[in-house]
Amino acid sequence: MFEFEGRRLTGANFFSHLPLVIIDAEIPSGQVERIVKDWAEKVKSLHKKLARKLPETGYRAHEKGQSLYFTAPIDALYSAIDLGEFALGIAAGESHLDDLLSQDSEHDVISVVDYLGKLFEEEARPDLLNLQALAHQKEVPFLWCDDYVSLGYGQFSQTWDRDKLPDPELLDWNKYKTIPLAFVTGTNGKSTTTRLCSQILKGAGRTVGFSSTDGIWAGDKCLDSGDYSGPGGAREVLRNQEVSAAVLEVARGGLLRRGLGASNADVALITNVARDHLGEYGVNTLDELVEAKFVVRKSLAPTGKLVLNADDAGCVNFAKNLQEDIVWFGLDKTNPLIQQDLERNRLVFFLDGEHIRYSDSKGEKTLCAVKDIPVTFAGAARHNVANAMAASAVCYGLGISALLIASGLKSFESNRKNNPGRGNLFKVGKVSIMVDFAHNPHGLSAVVRTLEKMPARRRLVMMGHAGDRSDTDIQELTRVALKLSPERIVLFELEEYLRGRSQGEVSNIMFNTLVQQGIDPGIVSLADSPSAGTKIALDWAQDDDFLLLLALGDREKVFDEIDLYAQK
């Protein structure tokens, strides 16, 4: 018997704009077509027997199996998982609902239908569905989760316990409104761009709520730390009544595992798409990852804008058949997409010499000089020039003036306060240190190109990796680091991120790759954590050396080690 497991997607997702149930399966080849067809028929048959509205069903094959899915109301997703799993078990010739039935019951369709009917009845919340329908009818933002339900966003929101919903007739529906809202996704640059947007919006007088892989903020207050780049973080921000504008980072995992956390966005941005985290949730190729990232377009309001990177092949190719209102940004003014929109007087952002410029219906204008944007290191960090343009396009789409956008870019320092762990440059005596989060070949290549333009007598690279990357990805990341020609290399372990690998396994892959590339093992040190690796690096450092510390964990402890070093 093959394995399968159900889960729910609570918002717009890879497969649909609607919430749905997905069954991840590994059906043996030769049986897929028959079983999938039978499964869809069983799902609809069970809905008929339960007198429920027939769902939309679908199926997608991928490299490691199949994804079978069908839509379901938000008050029936858990019960629908049981129904979908049972239907697949029956289609495959074996019921997987046995553990949900009492030991003495007869495992036939009639007893299961009766059992499923009770599940749906217990989960049913007609008051929740009624509130959702009214919100949609009145074009009021609606958010829900297992515990809470809310209307409106940010300062115009109100939240109730899910078990204590209000009487819709007593609500003043006019007070529930949206706020300027943007979603940010991509492989690299998400957090930096999100923080740049926040800085710009703050300068425009907004109390900005943003969620990211680092945590949740409302204004200057950190509400929680950790990875909140999924729908939970989005809801937390949009339910905060202090927030008057929101920028929500959306990572691949949240998109694929649960779907989008909200809708009615004014802008959705895709910074770039590169190989990373492949092999999870049915996304195994770069083309599939591009498609997954483009799920953010499903968050857009009818008048919303989709901001895309004109220098990214994945974005360019996928966008060819889209109907959304696209705003391109790029590092090359001669890019055909940039030129096309310049000729049409459409909104577009581009690099012209050493100035960021933009064009709209009134013609071309200069936004600011690249050298005036600290995060670009006077233009050496080309990836942050792109991030600055992306943030400019997002904020322009949120109604912020060019003057305030430029002011925000100029005030954003690449330090541990504004952008912790992303291109933070320290000068301790005559030793230069950069702390960065580059964790895939695409991101590290951008950092390497930046540091190649910075002088150094000797260079050191400290690096490690999480265990959920493939051997090939880890090897490639290691080879990219060697482009800096480091005189010293420190490899660290990420004990909290082994993710199925044994202690020392990732470091061993990296070490073997270094040796295969001709590196003398004598210049390689091993550390049991990023902070321990930082201490090794600092003990080695001498005047005019440059240390690249890829702090993928223990970031605050890495900063602490640098502070101690500076005090000596």
The pLDDT tens digits for 466-517 are 887 888 889 999 999 999 999 999 999 888 877 778 888 999 999 999 999 9
Q: Please, which residues bridge with residue 307 across strands?
A: 269, 327
For residues 136 and 222, membership in a common domain is answered with no
Of 382, 410, 438, which one is at a domain's C-terminal end? 410
Q: Which amino acid is at 559?
A: F
pLDDT recorded at residue 107: 47
Whether 280 is in a domain gets the answer: yes
Whether 541 is in a domain gets the answer: yes
pLDDT recorded at residue 102: 44
For residues 514 and 448, membership in a common domain is answered with yes
Q: Rounded to 5, what percent of the chain is helix, strand, coil? A: 40, 25, 35
pLDDT recorded at residue 100: 43
Q: DSSP state, 283?
A: B
Name the pLDDT band for 109 (thresholds 50, 70, 90).
Answer: low
pLDDT recorded at residue 279: 65
Q: Look at residue 392 and give its three-state secondary structure.
A: helix
Q: Give the pLDDT mean for 361-374.
A: 95
Q: Please, which residues bridge with residue 150 across strands?
A: 143, 159
Whether 560 is in a domain gets the answer: yes
Q: Is the pLDDT of residue 69 over 90?
A: yes
Better-predicted residue by pLDDT, 553 or 81: 81
pLDDT recorded at residue 344: 92
For residues 199 and 150, membership in a common domain is answered with no
For residues 190 and 130, membership in a common domain is answered with no
Pairing between β-strand 424-428 and β-strand 488-492 as defined by DSSP bridges: unpaired
Cβ-based neighbour number of residue 505 at 10 Å: 15
d(CA 327, CA 338): 10
Pairing between β-strand 355-360 and β-strand 363-369 as defined by DSSP bridges: antiparallel
Whether 321 is in a domain gets the answer: yes
pLDDT recorded at residue 523: 96
Pairing between β-strand 546-550 and β-strand 20-25 as defined by DSSP bridges: unpaired
Q: Is the pLDDT of residue 454 over 50?
A: yes
Of 159, 175, 191, which one is at a domain's C-terminal end? 175
The count of structural domains within the chain is 4
Q: Which helix (H) or strand (E) holds 333?
A: none
d(CA 188, CA 185): 8
For residues 535 and 441, membership in a common domain is answered with yes
Write the pLDDT tens digit of every residue in 314-348.
Answer: 999 999 989 999 999 999 999 999 999 999 999 99
Tokens 């402890």 correspond to what residue? Answer: 557
Q: DSSP state, 321?
A: T
**Of 330, 292, 323, 287, nearest in space to 308 by CA:** 330
The proportion of the chain whose per-residue pLDDT surpasses 70, expressed as a percent, equals: 96
Encode 222-257 in three state secondary structure: EEEECCCCCHHHHHHHHCCCCCCEEEEECCHHHHHH
Q: Give the pLDDT mean for 370-374.
A: 97
Q: Give the pLDDT mean for 66-78.
A: 96
pLDDT recorded at residue 61: 86
**Of 332, 347, 405, nearest in space to 373 by CA:** 405
pLDDT recorded at residue 94: 63
Say if pTM beats, i.e. exceeds, 0.75.
yes
Of 410, 432, 459, which one is at a domain's C-terminal end? 410
pLDDT recorded at residue 358: 97
Whether 416 is in a domain gets the answer: no
For residues 381 and 345, membership in a common domain is answered with yes
d(CA 49, CA 63): 35
Q: How many residues does the chain have?
A: 568
Whether 419 is in a domain gets the answer: no
Taking each helix axis from N to C end, the angle separating 190-203 and 382-397, rounded to the nearest 10 degrees, works out to 50
Q: Which amino acid is at 14?
A: F
Residue-number span of the structural domain to which 429 is assigned: 424-567
Asked if 204 and 168 count as a contact pair (C-beta separation under 8 A), the reply is: no
CATH number of the domain to which 346 belongs: 3.40.1190.10
Q: Give the pLDDT mean for 521-541.
A: 95
Could you tell me the end-to-end alpha-carbon distance of the chain, in angstroms, rounded to an integer?
A: 64
For residues 131 and 102, membership in a common domain is answered with no
CATH number of the domain to which 71 belongs: 3.30.1360
Residue 220 CA to its chain's centroid (Å): 22
Which tokens go with 563? 């502070």
Taking each helix axis from N to C end, the angle separating 555-567 and 530-540, rounded to the nearest 10 degrees, works out to 30
Write the pLDDT tens digit of every residue in 198-250.
Answer: 999 999 999 999 998 888 999 999 998 888 888 899 999 999 999 999 999 99
Lowest mean pLDDT among 283-287, 356-360, 448-452: 283-287
Asked if 289 and 303 count as a contact pair (C-beta separation under 8 A), the reply is: no
pLDDT recorded at residue 99: 46
For residues 248 and 329, membership in a common domain is answered with yes
CATH number of the domain to which 505 belongs: 3.90.190.20
Q: Which residues contact 471 (CB under 8 A, 6 or more apart)?
A: 509
Write down the mean pLDDT value for the chain.
91
Quote the longest CA-to-CA distance of the chain: 79
Q: Which residues contact 493 (CB under 8 A, 6 or more apart)?
A: 464, 503, 504, 506, 507, 526, 527, 528, 529
**Of 35, 79, 76, nearest in space to 59 by CA:** 35
For residues 97 and 116, membership in a common domain is answered with yes
DSSP alpha helix (H) spans, 398-524: 402-410, 441-451, 471-481, 505-516
| 17-47 burial code (b ≥16 CB/10 A, e <16) | ebbbbbbbbebeeeeeeebbebbbebbbebb
Q: Look at residue 510 and give its three-state secondary structure.
A: helix
For residues 101 and 132, membership in a common domain is answered with no
Q: Is the pLDDT of residue 299 over 90?
A: yes
Q: DSSP state, 415?
A: S
Whether 207 is in a domain gets the answer: yes
pLDDT recorded at residue 104: 46
For residues 497 and 380, membership in a common domain is answered with no
**Of 558, 19, 517, 67, nearest in space to 280 by CA:** 67
For residues 153 and 119, membership in a common domain is answered with no
pLDDT recorded at residue 96: 52
Pairing between β-strand 142-144 and β-strand 148-151 as defined by DSSP bridges: antiparallel
Q: Which residues contact 314 (CB under 8 A, 6 or more apart)?
A: 272, 273, 286, 287, 289, 290, 293
Whether 418 is in a domain gets the answer: no
